[in-house]
Amino acid sequence: MSVISVLDKSVSELIAAGEVIERPASVIKELVENSIDAGAKRITVEIRDGGTSFMKITDDGCGMSAEDVPKAFLRHATSKVKEKIDLENIHTLGFRGEALASVAAVARIQVMTRCPGDAFGSQYEIAGGEDSKVIECGCPEGTMIMIRDLFFNVPARRKFMKKETSEGNAVSQIIQKIAISHPEIAFKFIRNHKLDFHSDGTGELISAIHAVYGKDFARDLIPVDHEQDGISVKGYVIKPLFAKNNRSFQNFFVNGRYVKSKQCSVAIESAYDTLLMTGKFPACVLMLNMSPDSLDVNIHPSKAEVRFSEEKQVIDAVYFAVKNAFLKNGLLYEFQTKKADWYGGMPETQEKHVFATQPSEPMPLPLPTETPKFEKLNQSDMPFQVQIPDPVYTPPKWEALPKSLTLPESFLDVEAEPEEEVSVRAVPFQQLHQHYEDPVFPPEQSAPPLQNESQETVQFPDLQVVGELFANYVIVQSGDNMIMIDKHAAHERIIFEKLRKENCKQYQQMLLTPCKVLLTLDDFSAMEEQQPLLDRLGFQADFSEKPYLIIQAAPYFFAEMDLDEIIQEVAHNLYLGKVDPQSHALENTLHDLACKSAIRANDKNTVPEMLSLAEQVCNHEEIRHCPHGRPVMFVMSKRELEKQFRRIV
């Protein structure tokens, strides 16, 4: 008996729709691209409830005739590809003829369209693949498509939709990317009856960037205009001083299509090499134009990825385009644009600038003719005499040992008085270290607080600051004890405890100039949802200028720090915690904040400041290790110190 059967049309269409339509943003992307291919100059997108219940796309394009409207909703029906050879020369954003059929299979659709010059338009409805007749109607030139109840017949898919805010942000990001890629089109995006975004459609790329990212972001850009190997690279890159904390602001467009390209990302980050701090990433809006037959856009259902036939040429074009932009704007000097020969100087035949009149012909790196030889210099050949000091005795380092030890009898002082505890002999440090290794805590796991055997709070009366060692370690005397404190680790733990208790509002300080921070829509929404947490952490924020977050007040111990960097990091960590909730996500954020705001080695501190630090460390049991597990202090009694000098046995 046969067990293989052909799927019913309704089932097969639902499966096919799932490959193209994942969420409301997928629908908007496909339909807006159709509007662009139709020659529209004005496009309006409206959604409600994140797009799950209502979406409407209106354009002033060429429209469709009454005969073509039903055909447009058939699978693989398209006006952009007719023969096999057309797939190698694609100039449009859409070409597969799957979008409308996929949307119609999982939603209720109403279409109103009219071609220029026609007296009447056409109205057509289709829901779950079941259509109706085309009727005449009155409507403006262009096309209006209304989508309701997305995934109404696929409850499993609808159940896994994200929150309304997240879905709405995804739609907004799609509109913004398309608006940047086509600055000649005026876009308007309405969310829940409120205007969320609009661009003027003047054709100026910088105007579209200003509409999406704001004037502060646009002000920090420099223009890029370069052509090499048949590849044109135009757009803008950010000045190195204003680099971002992640790659969210890297925008690459190939032939008017927004794509995610690792090759382009590697190329631009290589161009910024030595100009950026560690952990910083360049931001850009780069338009790449090349022959359609040199790339394949048909490798991903959403057409978000492309494959280049000559990847090296693309990487070189982006790299040299950015380098030339730096040179023209005074961010690089000519000597920095030369390819150096590290084996004896650049040959005279290749003594030229890489970015001269023909930057499209980059100079190859000269290879060495022979392996360099390194000979040992004699003392007499040196330009100055080097005096090598005699070896001197270096005292052993004090290192933390476990609280409870089991030592060989040879290590124990068994001749101690009855009322005294059995103590450790003054044996050589190396011998003791070989027998017991130091306790090691995982780098991201906080060590347990130090406790004595009686479980009572350790008392350190009469604290007196003796001095500071190596500009990082504070030496304090307390009765018959000497205490050495790592001031950075101690201060880091103190700030961490304040943040973790979420009572930092008492440390809040108003800023003379509010800090304006540009965030991605996802990061902005995460901060908006966690506004009560921000208040408890001591931040006062204004969310009225989306996607800019205005910080009006912050805890005083962040006063000397880059608040822009702090807020971006907190926002991104909150977003990641929302996407992949983990119990340690917030604590990791607090670790980073505490580490960056704590005093550092070589910072000059007064005696009262060091005394205040010592009092907080000694009087609070929880401040015994930094948030990353390193010890904050160690204590040596007068008796232990005298044993080291053989004053007592």
Give the end of a domain, one of 337, 360, 376. 337
- Looking at the fold, whether 551 and 638 belong to one and the same domain comes out as yes
pTM higher than 0.75: no
- Looking at the fold, whether 228 and 130 belong to one and the same domain comes out as no
- Looking at the fold, whether 488 and 626 belong to one and the same domain comes out as yes
Cα–Cα distance for residue pair 551/143, rounded to 1 Å? 43
- Looking at the fold, whether 134 and 235 belong to one and the same domain comes out as no
- Looking at the fold, whether 183 and 63 belong to one and the same domain comes out as yes
Residue pair 250/268 in contact (Cβ under 8 Å)? The answer is yes
Cα–Cα distance for residue pair 637/477, rounded to 1 Å? 10
Number of domains in the chain: 3
Domain membership of residue 100 as a residue range = 9-198
- Looking at the fold, whether 139 and 255 belong to one and the same domain comes out as no
Provide the 10 A C-beta neighbour count for residue 551. 20
DSSP, collapsed to helix, strand or coil, labels residue 514 as: strand
Q: Is 139 part of a structural domain of the chain?
A: yes
Residue listed under structure tokens 């201060």:
491
Q: Encoding tokens for residue 526? A: 């995460």
Please provide residue 137's backbone torsions phi and psi, each rounded to the nearest 5 degrees: -155, 165
Q: Is 389 part of a structural domain of the chain?
A: no
- Looking at the fold, whether 458 and 329 belong to one and the same domain comes out as no
The pLDDT value given to residue 558: 77
Give the end of a domain, one of 298, 318, 337. 337
Q: Is 620 part of a structural domain of the chain?
A: yes
Taking only the tens place, the pLDDT of each residue in 522-561 is 889 888 888 888 888 888 999 988 889 999 998 887 766 7
Q: Is 424 part of a structural domain of the chain?
A: no
| CA-wise closest residue to 319 among 229, 395, 411 | 229
Q: Is 272 part of a structural domain of the chain?
A: yes
Q: Is 411 part of a structural domain of the chain?
A: no
| CA-wise closest residue to 69 among 20, 150, 137 | 137
| CA-wise closest residue to 615 among 627, 607, 603 | 607
The pLDDT value given to residue 277: 82
Pairing of strands 250-254, 257-259: antiparallel
- Looking at the fold, whether 159 and 118 belong to one and the same domain comes out as yes
Q: Is 213 part of a structural domain of the chain?
A: no
Q: Which helix (H) or strand (E) covers residue 54, if one does?
A: strand 54-59
- Looking at the fold, whether 256 and 311 belong to one and the same domain comes out as yes
CATH number for position 69: 3.30.565.10
Cα–Cα distance for residue pair 341/155, rounded to 1 Å? 65
Provide the 10 A C-beta neighbour count for residue 634. 15
- Looking at the fold, whether 64 and 162 belong to one and the same domain comes out as yes
CATH number for position 267: 3.30.230.10
pLDDT beneath 70: ranges in the chain: 1-20, 80-91, 94-97, 298-303, 332-459, 502-503, 559-560, 578-587, 649
- Looking at the fold, whether 244 and 311 belong to one and the same domain comes out as yes
Return the CA Rg of the chain: 34
Taking only the tens place, the pLDDT of each residue in 74-130 is 877 777 666 666 556 666 776 666 778 888 888 999 999 999 989 999 999 998 878
Give the end of a domain, one of 317, 337, 357. 337
Q: Is 102 part of a structural domain of the chain?
A: yes
Say if residue 428 is preceded by a cis peptide, omega within 30 of 0: no
Q: Which positions ≥6 away from 620 have C-beta within 8 Å? A: 497
- Looking at the fold, whether 90 and 187 belong to one and the same domain comes out as yes
Cα–Cα distance for residue pair 631/615, rounded to 1 Å? 16
Q: Encoding tokens for residue 291? A: 């022959």
CATH number for position 585: 3.30.1540.20
